[in-house]
Amino acid sequence: MAEYFASRSPEISRREKAHMEAVRALAGECMVLLENNGALPLGAPGGEDIHKLALYGNGARHTVKGGTGSGDVNSRMVVTIEEGLKNAGFTITTERWLDNYDSCYADAQKAYLEQVMEIAEEKKVPPFLVTFEMPFREPQIPAVTPEDVNSSDTDTAIYVIARNSGEGADRKEAEGDYLLSASELAALAALGQAYKKCIVVLNVGGVVDAAPLKEIPGISAVLLAGQSGNIGGDAVADALTGKTIPSGKLTDTWAAKYGDYPSSAGFSGNDGDVDDEYYTEGIYVGYRYFDTFGVKPLYCFGYGLSYTQFSMETLDVAADARSVRAQVKVTNTGSRFAGREVVQIYVSAPAGGGLEKPLQELRGFGKTSLLEPGESQLLTISFPTASMASYSEARAAWVLEAGTYYIRVGNSSRNTHIAAAVCLDEDAVTVQLKNLFRDEEPLQELSAKGAAAWTYDGEAQEKEAAPKIYLHGADIETETVTYRESEPVWRDKGTVTAWTMDDVRSGKASLEEFTAQLTVRELAEICVGSARGGQGTDTVIGSASALVPGAAGDTTSLLLEDRNVKNMILADGPAGLRLNPHFATTADGRLLVSGDTISGIPMGEDPERTADAVDYYQYCTAIPVATLLAQSWDMELIEKAGRIVGREMEEFHVTLWLAPGMNIHRNPLCGRNFEYYSEDPLVTGMCAAADTKGVQSRPGIGTTIKHFAANSQEDNRMFSNAHISERALREIYLKGFEITVKTSQPMSIMSSYNLLNGTHTANHYDLLTSAARDEWGFAGLVMTDWFTSQDPSFMFGAAVHKYPISSSPLCIKAGNDLQMPGCQKNVDDIVEAVEHPEKAGEEALTLGELQACAARILNVIARSSCYEGSAPYGEQFGELPWIGRCERGEKF
């Protein structure tokens, strides 16, 4: 009889209550106050006592807690912004307008579902898969009439703009998506004239065109609330009333217009080509482009207001061959509100050598404690000197070029001052590598030669006056990477004993001895997820786990009886655990009701409920989406969010969380940007590492950082070829992964769907093995994304694609250990490639290559929560390298 780990009680648990309260507290600190002329906080001390609010907008009742697809968490409830404001004691006086929008929404959703069914029938694919490529778009909003305004009986209006997106489709530069719709603009114009206070709340997962909000008269404040999880409505109310002080800062540049992004013309389908994506902007992504080329943003990277004001004074900067350190005094200079401030340190590297450089790059940051009016705090922020290096393709190395490195301290990319100048007398190679990512199609990359960079009054004088610190290049150590040449074959030594996993865990047998006893087919079974059926939807997201319905999949249990190799359970994220909130079984454990849906469409047909049915419940907490968490600039806060997820993984016996996602926000229209942190690799890497440390603080469970790598496009995502230079890859798109691996050692990495310079990432040896393992020291397992090496026709119909799917045997050759969710053909193809290499051609495998993949999976299983007494996974690595630190002094 199957053993399920879910609760038999539908009642809300103490864990649920505690986690929702924790999420409510942390979500408000992630929100970014973009504009405020004194309208916020509502009901401030000494201000007007506001009891009634006029509430409008598509996100008021239909608040988006997080994006769609595998990143959507099935929580018990979602607190809308309307409900949150009511819970805070406000009376909403625009029920008639909200009811009218409800009617429009219901009609639009009905028409959408009918269209989905028609397309599914035409393409012969499951209906819920159609929603991935054609997400629901909110309808046009009703007009705000004089009657709405007159009957609202208040001088304060709140307008909530909501946007949603998800995997499988990119966003569009269109009204109702990136652009505000004509009806939204008309409503905002009317509200700005009709109400004394008009507050806009952005319930969005990514950047939208906020430029009109600066132009419409009467808009009093703009709060970027993001998508803050299932308790989001309460968190928004807390931020609006000052119960929580918003202290978030942007982790993306918000452009004045979409065309200002250097990737805009060719992104995804904008140029009519979704097969090949050319990263012609090179290293100039986000603020690196805007600042270097002097393009004025609407809101710059790192920007965010507070309900109070701060001053910042750099007291000291020191540097040596190992690290750079800055001591900064931050003071709350306001008189009414407490608040927190973020100190950001940027470095301008010398551009006179052989390498172009961005104007400045973020190298360190830290956040104060909550400071009361008049209070101060010292932050000491440090980062490795080697982190200022640039990648030279000509030298295949990270190089600190000779010259002056200006240290800039401030609270955004456009509000810094030069605090010191580090002068290096000669070039220093910090890491000697080899080039791994050559593209057969050379790119014509953007060059900053002749560009007029952003500057500010007094910058030249600051450079002249900056204290100088002199370093010798000869004192900086060079690390030289050694790359493996081949995987050895392990031979059974003829031991009579058939080793089990218990023997490996006790030290009686080595992992090598255990692996050497396994047959080729047993090894192949280990390297393929537990699904062994055809290509149908029974193994799609949310339906592939045997014991945790809603989990994404399991590793095989075929070696459980003979070898005691237990199977790991893998569940989606990254905004919490994605499990079925309710399911039912027969008395003997046969699953009857899976209860999972995507966009309101069941993911499969459930068997009829029987008289002896047993109900189970798996209510998980939806935490804020990754972009919102990153906006906190608080690694302790993100680690706390990770611990929330880790605790729920323990409760439901999930071993691997398929998160965090950490691709770079190259372009604001990527459909999955909400799952990722930032346009900046340092912020991305630090956030993912903090998330990982939080999750992996619990015994035997781990994270799966994804999508490795350059997954910046959702349209045609399984067949898109990303063309990127080696330097841009290493400095922008791989750097975050490198930081996370080195500083937190996640249990797993998930390869992406796309091709990288002509090779599927799932089949890319230099990406998965040479870079991740040999260069960075990754010690866990690598897995594919779902169906990467399986026939995808059941998802897309009989579509013809420019590039083929990735190869199952080549996954093994590349060091992609685990193929998910798995099918029998994967196993058979791997066995054939080992046993009959003469027939396999380029897909031929050695026994050593297969043993290496299986051994890495077995090593993780042995250290996992599959077995009692497992320690936290990260503890096995001792003290890990660091990339940045912030020490907070006592407040004074």
pLDDT tens digits for range 248-289: 999 999 999 999 999 999 999 999 999 999 999 999 999 999
DSSP 520-539: HHHHHHHTB-S--S-SSGGG
* One domain, residues 219 and 303: no
Stretch among 544-553, 659-668, 803-812 having the lowest mean pLDDT: 544-553
Tokens of 496: 């009579």
* One domain, residues 179 and 292: no
- Segment 130-134 long-range contacts (CB within 8 Å, at least 24 positions apart): 131/68, 131/168, 131/598, 131/599, 131/601, 132/69, 132/166, 132/167, 132/168, 132/169, 132/598, 133/168, 133/169, 133/715, 134/169
How far apart CA 791 and CA 176 sit, in angstroms, is 35
Residue-level pLDDT at 96: 96
* One domain, residues 423 and 568: no
Residue 538 has pLDDT above 50, yes or no: no
* One domain, residues 446 and 570: no
Stretch among 308-312, 540-544, 738-742 having the lowest mean pLDDT: 540-544
* One domain, residues 709 and 762: yes
For 653-672, what is the mean pLDDT? 98
Domain termination residue (choose one: 246, 267, 296): 246
- Residue 261 located in a structural domain: no
Q: What is the pLDDT of residues 601-660, one digit of tens each?
A: 666 666 677 888 999 999 999 999 999 999 999 999 999 999 999 999 999 999 999 999
- Residue 271 located in a structural domain: no
How far apart CA 179 and CA 641 sit, in angstroms, is 31
* One domain, residues 612 and 628: no
- Residue 153 located in a structural domain: yes
- Residue 435 located in a structural domain: yes
* One domain, residues 562 and 613: no
CA distances 691 to 82, 695, 739, Å, are: 30, 6, 13
The Cβ of residue 215 has, within 10 Å, a number of other Cβ atoms equal to 9
List, in order, residues 6 or more apart from 650 with CB less than 8 Å away: 698, 699, 701, 865
Residue-level pLDDT at 176: 96
* One domain, residues 609 and 575: no
For 27-32, what is the mean pLDDT? 97
Domain termination residue (choose one: 432, 466, 481): 481
Active-site amino acid positions? 785
CA distances 763 to 433, 492, 695, 758, 810, Å, are: 21, 29, 28, 11, 5
CA distances 239 to 42, 44, 243, Å, are: 9, 12, 6
- Residue 407 located in a structural domain: yes
DSSP H or E stretch at residue 657: strand 656-658
* One domain, residues 628 and 729: yes
Give percent of the chain above pLDDT 70. 96
Q: How many domains does the chain have?
A: 4
How far apart CA 811 and CA 440 sit, in angstroms, is 21
* One domain, residues 605 and 743: no
**Closest C-alpha among 710, 631, 629 to residue 666:** 710
* One domain, residues 695 and 754: yes
- Give the three-state DSSP class for 361: strand
Residue-level pLDDT at 610: 82
For 577-596, what is the mean pLDDT? 84
List, in order, residues 6 or more apart from 533 with CB less than 8 Å away: 539, 823, 824
- Indicate the angle between helix axes 681-695 and 735-744, nearest 10 degrees: 30
Tokens of 520: 């080729």
- Residue 499 located in a structural domain: no
Residue-level pLDDT at 798: 66
Sign of CA dihedral 471, 474, 479, 480: positive
* One domain, residues 727 and 830: yes
Look up the domain containing 181 and give its range. Answer: 27-95+140-246
Tokens of 74: 């099935």
Q: What is the pLDDT of residues 837-886, one digit of tens each?
A: 999 999 999 999 999 999 999 999 999 999 999 999 988 888 888 888 99
Tokens of 846: 């050695």
Q: What is the pLDDT of residues 671-718, one digit of tens each?
A: 999 999 999 999 999 999 999 999 999 999 999 999 999 999 999 999
How far apart CA 594 and CA 577 sit, in angstroms, is 16
Amino acid occupying residue 115: Q
Residue-level pLDDT at 602: 66
List, in order, residues 6 or more apart from 472 with CB less than 8 Å away: 321, 424, 425, 426
Domain termination residue (choose one: 422, 452, 481): 481
Stretch among 229-243, 463-477, 520-534 having the lowest mean pLDDT: 520-534
CATH at residue 531: 3.20.20.300
CATH at residue 338: 2.60.40.10
- Residue 787 located in a structural domain: yes
Q: What is the pLDDT of residues 310-348, one digit of tens each?
A: 999 999 999 999 999 999 999 999 999 999 999 999 999
* Beta strands 397-400; 428-432: pairing state: antiparallel
Residue-level pLDDT at 121: 83
- Residue 202 located in a structural domain: yes
For 123-127, what is the mean pLDDT? 80
DSSP 849-880: HHHHHHHHHHHHHHTSTTSTTPPBGGGGG-SP
Residue 590 has pLDDT above 90, yes or no: no
DSSP H or E stretch at residue 695: helix 681-695
